[in-house]
Amino acid sequence: MSKKSSIKMIPLGGLNEIGKNMMVLEKDDNMIIIDCGVMFPDEEFPGVDFVIPDFTYVTRNSSKLRAIIITHGHEDHIGGLPFLFKEIMAPVYATRLTKGLIELKLNEHQIFEGVEINEINENSILNIGPFTLEFFRVSHSIPDTVGIVIKTDVGTIVHSSDFKFDQSPIYGKRTEFSKIGYYGMQGILALLCDSTNSEQEGYTLPEKVVGKVLLEKFSEAEGRIIVTTFSSHIHRIQQIVDMSEKFKKKLAISGKSLLKTIKIASELGYLDIPDDLIIPINKIDEYPLKKVTILATGTQGEPLSALYKMAINEHKRIQIMKSDMVIISASPIPGNEKAIANIINMLIKNGANVFYESIAGVHVSGHAAQEEIKMMINLIRPKYFIPIHGDNMHKVQNGKIAREVGIDEENIVIAQNGDVIKINYGLCKVSKNINTRTVYVDGLGYGDIDDIVLKDRKLLASDGVVVNVVGLDFEKEEIFHEPDLTFKGIVFIENFDSIIKECRNIINESIFSCFKNKLKTPVSIEKYVNDRLEKYLIKKIRLKPVVITKILPK
């Protein structure tokens, strides 16, 4: 009898952060991927749209890739697919709503050919190389979320997906507790378990709790109601639809992502919207203020979102009024707290009555708290426990929860992105790390952004920029065009005229010093002038702006 080979699991994202979830499983020269998401950057990454997993390992082993399985339709699970498909193709398997959202995303990226997307459900069974995949339905903040059971000849691995145990979900389809317990009875080698809410005690509140708060707020509103929520939060959108219908309000949508998601979810039957409920945003003035609900993008304070434009009075159709009630029905993604607080403050300044998570209970999480994680572990009863979907503090806390319910400490693996986790019936350990890099999406391009680039962007944002243009005659060693200085993004400077004069003196002295020392290339002179100006400005105005010198040779 030949020796059975181990399984390799390699997280390429989601184990050092909240987001960009991606897990590779490999056995007998066959590879499958679970999820391929993005992470939204915080203020430490100015100019970066989002962060994606490092696909290098997958592309180097492309001949092994058999399938990509997606657990649900959130951006941190599907957002990386268009970038992966620019490098490699493989069949995708996803539930009905998730499939629709993936197709929408690929269309946005103009990827129309070569991608095979197969629809699955909780009863599907896939035989892919040495892997047999089965599924179980779980509750989350988006319908059609599934956990995955991965059967192999060395044991069975369960991937929990993002989950919570909502006993009375909005969508009506409950977590398949008996099915999860059935798999646990068969013997489970390892559980990969969501760690996002592992620091939260007790149970996550059910989605219907938000419905009660919305009912209360809709009853109190004296004017328009403006609600913002995640565009993928179908359950929350349905409750806003239901409240608008109950209070005989028309519903207007502001934000492209919301419009697209509502269209897809309605067409597939995941949203039930009365025919005459939704009106175009340009028709809201035709109705009394108390008869209008506006559903808008902007839960995270995004600068281009509808709610942000309302807050700064730059929205084309909506100007905040004193009678407006604004409900921010979402929690801040870590790093976005300041941006959201700024929007709330601007809305309040403009007269709106603002309700948000920490004061009004207008949001509940889609992730399991500690008691639900314990329940998942007790139903699955794994030999090994591997926390996923979180940074180190979430994973370590999840490991503590596992120990509380009887998992041996030596059987709990706290892994990092890039770790190669080797697992079979007798062991589960990290054998090495493949050293994944951080990959940024910046405008239309993506890849590495050097530390110096991010450093310059932070300086530009905080200390501004000084541009110096000067004309030189290299043959005569003369300045034929005196320095022309422009200061941008720098707050009021006392004695500004004298500082400009001193800057010009420093530039002239620096140039003649270069000529004297036989430095006659534009690049070398520009660098020397930049260094001198930078040191002067740090000393004089206590700022360190980005200094750019451009020499115009004669």
Looking at the annotation, which residues are catalytic? 194, 367
Checking phi first, is residue 299 left (phi over 0); if not, alpha (psi -120 to 50) or beta?
alpha
What is the secondary structure of 222-272 as a DSSP string?
SS-EEEE--TT-HHHHHHHHHHHHHTT-EEEEE-HHHHHHHHHHHHTTS--
DSSP state string for 37-94:
--B---TTSTT--EEE---HHHHHTGGGEEEEE-----HHHHTTHHHHHTT----EEE
Q: Count H helices, E strands: the chain? A: 16, 26
Angle between helices 370-380 and 177-186 (to 10 degrees): 50
Which pLDDT score, from 0 to 100, does residue 114 have? 85
pLDDT tens for 217-268 read 999 999 999 999 988 899 999 999 999 999 999 999 999 889 999 999 999 9
Average pLDDT value for the chain = 90
Q: With beta carbons less than 8 A apart as the criterion, state whether 554 and 472 touch.
A: yes
CB 551 within 8 A of CB 520: no
CA 48, 53, 58: angle at the middle one, nearest 5? 145
Which pLDDT score, from 0 to 100, does residue 333 have? 75
Determine the Cα–Cα distance for residues 91 and 89; give it in Å rounded to an integer: 7
Full strand arrangement of the beta sheet holding 382-388? 125-128, 131-137, 146-152, 155-159, 188-194, 382-388
Whether residue 454 has pLDDT greater than 70: no
pLDDT at position 459: 56
d(CA 461, CA 190): 46
How far apart are the C-alpha atoms of 237 and 229, rounded to whole Å?
Answer: 8
* Nearest-angstrom CA–CA distance, 468 and 465: 10
Are the CB atoms for 351 and 321 separated by under 8 Å? yes
Scan for tokens 């139903």, then name that residue.
Answer: 379
Q: Can you tell me the distance from the alpha carbon of 66 to that of 24, in angstroms, rounded to the nearest whole number?
A: 11
The pair of structure tokens assigned to 333 is: 């993604």
pLDDT tens, residue by residue, 280-293 = 999 999 999 999 99
| Mean pLDDT confidence for 52-61 | 95
Longest dimension (CA), the chain: 89
Phi, psi of 465, rounded to the nearest 5 degrees: -140, 145
Between CA 82 and CA 93 the distance in angstroms is 15
CA distance 78 to 70: 7
* Residue 157, SS3 per DSSP: strand
**b/e string for 17-49 if b means 16 or more Cβ within 10 A?**
bbbbbbbbbbbeeebbbbbbbbbbbeeebbbbe
389 torsion bin: left (phi>0), alpha (psi -120 to 50), beta (else):
left
Q: How confident is the model at residue 443 (pLDDT cuts 50, 70, 90)?
A: low
Q: Best-predicted range by mean pLDDT among 61-65, 336-340, 501-505?
A: 61-65
Both tokens assigned to 486: 């422009």
- The predicted-structure confidence for 301-328, as pLDDT tens digits, reads as follows 887 789 989 999 889 899 999 999 999 9
pLDDT in tens, 381-417: 999 999 999 999 999 999 999 999 999 999 999 999 9
Domains (ranges, CATH) in the chain?
7-202+365-447 (3.60.15.10), 208-360 (3.40.50.10710), 451-553 (3.10.20.580)
CA distance 134 to 136: 7
Percentages helix, strand, coil for the chain (3-state, rounded to 5) are 35, 25, 40
**286 alpha carbon, distance to own chain's centre:** 37
pLDDT at 336 over 50: yes
Cβ atoms of residues 226 and 307 within 8 Å = yes
The per-residue pLDDT for 452 is 45
pLDDT of residue 25: 98
Q: Give the percent of the chain with pLDDT over 90.
A: 69
Beta bridge mates, 252: 279, 294
Helices (H), 388-521: 392-404, 451-463, 496-516
d(CA 184, CA 378): 8
Alpha helices by DSSP H, listed for 312-450, are 337-349, 357-360, 370-380, 392-404
**Band of residue 51 on the pLDDT scale cut at 50, 70, 90:** confident
C-alpha torsion angle, residues 324, 329, 332, 337 (rounded to 10)? 10
